[in-house]
Chains A and B, each alone.
Chain A
């Protein structure tokens, strides 16, 4: 082992605190900064030695930005990343080189993962060359050995990436990430671009290599079934924030955040008699440059908290809130609806709400809407049906289930 191999085994290998990456949005002739895309907005977690942590979320939630920022490929705009107890932004040139050696990375894009003009040998050996292994025979030996260990024949060394399949490329990408014998492997969507049959192979190869090499791993994916197979702990990200973090079994058994629940519900169920109820997300992922107030998930949350004034049946407040948000955004008008019942159908609203006061407000608002007075309807709906979720920003706090989640329902 190298002399710089970590010697203390107490602290976490990687610790991320309040990491922020905000991209300025510039517009106009002078390119003034008019706003920020909060790609990563204050996330904290740690990876202990030998541990595999998953970072899960939809595309656009900032998980890949988190990876590149943690690796120091982009400067964070706030927060700290400590690797082996040392702040990576404080590294001098030598420490930075050592960090680059000790943190390997596999990126998603399999089509451009390899330089089309370089042979497999040249590509996989490139990190060795960068780190000063100048003897080409020695590089060839190291690469040949590693290539066999990722399950590819040595004859592949002189092939070009155009001739390789996606699975072969991903094995080689893994070899390239491991050639410097790192302590931490960051894998950004390592299998999402592959066929399902190949996915399983690559995942088990990842596991094998991790166990053999005693790697710590940060696995970034949108696919919770991948997490279940490989990870020890998992952090769920939504719009730049971690909303729940838990050991894998705990998260699957007892999810505490509505977003996690919907993600779990979207995993194809192998057992058709399984009891999981399906939860559907309404609405699209909001623009990260204009993130919602309060809880960022409230425009889509199936369990948004209703106002205390009324009683709602299950899911009914969500339907009312959908109508309200659409009306406020001007996304719903009288056009296309012949009468109130057609509009109610479109929003999955029942013929009448359980609470008569709420029903009265709703009927009045729908009438205004169908009259073409959209602004009046929107105002009426927002006054009658406010939710605490749009006002208060939840923090990542411990829940009754024993792991933290950021949802206002746990703070009540």
Chain B
């Protein structure tokens, strides 16, 4: 037992009359978040009034890019900051994630695809597509081109067969665009859309789920009834209606419907996640640490910020990582159906061009590299993100493993 002398009985020895009792609402992370949001807002105002603030980078952001920037600020605050602050836990979670084969593989792919989305297309400069280099086969492959009008083969041409080269390792499409570059760009579109939509969904679902679960009563009933109603209207249908009505009008805008897609799904597809958050909050509301905090005089705001929301993040993040691949599939399908025109960038457009025989001189199976690589990438992408979500849940939620 420690010291029992009576002199130091007033061990916490605080003269409460002299304490400010100040409740600082603005801690460092919140200030950082505010600064980030303000910075994005300031840049946006500059963009609208003067012109692109990223002239040096040779980048004129679209509406979608602005949304993605705002999402990045949110991820910095609620994703990266906690990971860095609790380094030890992050590292131990990472270790147990990497100890699982599926976890390690999916983690590697997800990190790789995020990095490639950030710097890929710029890092590997392909220059402009050259029409004369159209329909080059991938390296180590060959294609019969004797019947193709005005074909020029970059590699070796022998016996009517053109052989692939390292200049275009995955070949080129009918416009002379490198398939490698198409994949990089497709990845960027997928990640940008996924993260932005996930950020919107995450914020709305957390806000609604927490409010419903914490306040309860009529508020809970009203919010959950609204979720019921919303879930009967699939976001996809709303988007298709909007796209049919307005997509022609916004043709001049570079994001070609990606912005609208992110907004529609972000604002209409969070119902299931909000329910998960709500049931989490319901159990947490009466947890010992919440009762102890209340007994010590904590306000509702304190309890929500310190205990309720941070403890829901694992649920939200897991749900979102499993939502992202679905969303990417939806976007690819829409681009395939020409209901979404993500520039020349979406994998859907790549697939459509590869599989349509209208303009093509060769049947699709002879130019197999146009579809196979894109399809394979899509499959791996969806698989990796879904697996990552599953593995993340197992790592972050040890209770589930014990059941």
Q: Say yes or no: is B294 at the interface (Cβ < 8 Å to chain A).
A: yes
Chain A window 98-121, contacts with chain B (Cβ cutoff 8 Å), 1 for yes, 0 for no: 101101110111111111111000
Q: Encode A60-71 as 1/0 by CB contact (under 8 A) with B.
A: 000000001001
Is A126 an interface residue, CB under 8 A from the partner? yes
Residues of A within 8 Å of B292, CB to CB, are 105, 107, 113, 126, 173, 176-177
* Residues of A with C-beta under 8 A to B86: 117
The answer to whether A130 touches B17 (Cβ under 8 A) is: no
Contact of B16 among A2, A109, A151, A160 (CB under 8 A): A2
Interface residues of B in 1-57 (CB under 8 A from A): 1-4, 6, 9-17, 19-24
Stretch in A50-58, A208-216, A251-259 with 4+ CB within 8 Å of B? A208-216
A162 to B399, alpha carbons, bound, how many Å? 11
Which residue, of B24, B291, B292, has the highest number of chain A Cβ atoms within 10 A? B292
B9 near A213 with CB under 8 A, answer: yes
Q: B306 within 8 Å of A by Cβ? A: yes
* Interface pair A130/B296, CB less than 8 Å apart: yes
Name the distance in Å between A146's Cβ and chain B's nearest Cβ.
6
Q: Which of A393-408 contact B (CB under 8 A)?
A: none
Known contacts A2-B14, A2-B16, A4-B16; decide if A109 and B2 are in contact (CB<8 Å).
no
> What is the bound-complex CA distance between A73 and B4, given in angstroms?
32
Residues from chain A with a CB closer than 8 A to the CB of B293 are 126-127, 130
Q: Flag if A151 contacts B297 (CB, 8 Å).
A: no
Q: How far is the CA of A380 from the CA of B174 in the complex (A)?
A: 100
Q: What is the bound-complex CA distance between A205 and B298, given in angstroms?
A: 27
Would B2 and A148 count as touching, CB distance under 8 A? Answer: yes
* Cβ–Cβ contact A149 & B294, under 8 A: no
B96 at the interface (CB under 8 A from A): no
**Which of these, B4, B15, B89, contacts A212 with CB under 8 Å?**
B4
Which residues of the partner chain B approach A142 to less than 8 Å between Cβ atoms? 11-12, 14
CB distance from A178 to the nearest CB of B (A): 8
* A378 part of interface (Cβ distance < 8 Å): no
A180 in contact (CB, < 8 A): yes
Which interface residue of A101, A111, A151 has the most chain B CB atoms within 10 A?
A101
- Chain A CB within 8 A of B302 CB: yes
Report the bound CA distance from A58 to B3 in whole Å.
Answer: 37
Q: Are A73 and B291 in contact (CB under 8 A)?
A: yes
CB distance from B28 to the nearest CB of A (A): 11
**Complex Cα gap A87–B3 (Å):** 36
Give the residues in chain B near A117, CB-CB below 8 Å.
86, 310-311
B289 interfacial by beta-carbon distance below 8 Å = yes
Q: What's the Cα separation between A146 and B10 when bound, in Å?
A: 11
Q: Are A73 and B310 in contact (CB under 8 A)?
A: no
Decide if A112 touches B16 in the complex (CB within 8 Å): no
Knowing A133-B19, A180-B296, A212-B6, say if A113 contacts B288 (CB, 8 Å): yes
Which B residues from 304 to 333 make CB contacts under 8 A with A?
306-307, 310-311
Contacting pair B19 A131 (CB below 8 A) = yes
Whether a CB of chain B sits under 8 angstroms from the CB of A263 is no
Contact of A126 among B2, B24, B306 (CB under 8 A): B306
Nearest-neighbor residue (CB-CB) of B313 within chain A = A117
The chain B residues found within 8 Å of chain A, CB to CB, are 1-4, 6, 9-17, 19-24, 86, 89, 287-289, 291-298, 302, 306-307, 310-311, 398
Which residues of A are interface residues toward B (Cβ below 8 A)? 1-4, 68, 71, 73, 96-98, 100-101, 103-105, 107-118, 123, 126-127, 130-134, 142, 145-146, 148-151, 160, 162, 173, 176-181, 205, 208, 212-214
**6 cross-chain pairs, A with B, having the tightest CB-CB distances, nearest first:** A100-B297, A127-B296, A113-B288, A3-B17, A112-B287, A112-B288
| 8 new A-B contacts at CB < 8 Å, known A127-B296, A149-B3 | A107-B295, A115-B287, A126-B296, A131-B19, A134-B24, A142-B12, A181-B12, A208-B1
